[in-house]
Amino acid sequence: MDKIMKTAVRTLFYLMAVCLIVWAFLPEWRTAALGLLLGLAAGSMNAFLLRRRVEMVTLGAAGLGPARRTLGLGSRIATVLLVAMLAYRFPEKFSMPAALIGCMVMPFILLAAAYIHNKRQS
């Protein structure tokens, strides 16, 4: 899981760097680039929250950790709502569709990283 997460985070940083380059050199795409950047940051935070919750659930199932068995859906939804509120409040800075798309990119990056990692192992 650590190798998959490391690969996904590296890919996410490359995407964030592309967003910053687009923001710097293409003024007409600035709101879309910042919206995507905001969404990517929230998506990465959600991925780390989910990873921590899954580890807590597995430790709890093994009897080694706390008995909490929640996946923390509320905190991840709250993160996406915060992104939506920021994009709604500042439409001149952030594009709402780009921000929401950015929130949904990280699961696909994780899926691709897991697929590549499993192909390399077998």
Are the C-beta atoms of 76 and 82 separated by less than 8 Å?
no
Say which range, 26-40, 50-64, 72-86, has the weakest mean pLDDT. 50-64
pLDDT number for residue 71: 62
pLDDT in tens, 37-69: 999 999 999 999 888 888 887 887 787 776 666
Inform me whether the pLDDT recorded for 1 exceeds 70.
no
Residue 92 binned pLDDT confidence (cut-offs 50, 70, 90): very high
* C-alpha span between 81 and 38 (Å, rounded): 12
Say which range, 33-37, 61-65, 108-112, has the weakest mean pLDDT. 61-65
pLDDT averaged over the chain? Answer: 90
Inform me whether the pLDDT recorded for 14 exceeds 70.
yes
pLDDT number for residue 58: 81
Question: Which positions ≥6 away from 95 have C-beta within 8 Å?
Answer: 31, 32, 34, 35, 36, 87
* C-alpha span between 40 and 103 (Å, rounded): 6
Inform me whether the pLDDT recorded for 30 exceeds 70.
yes
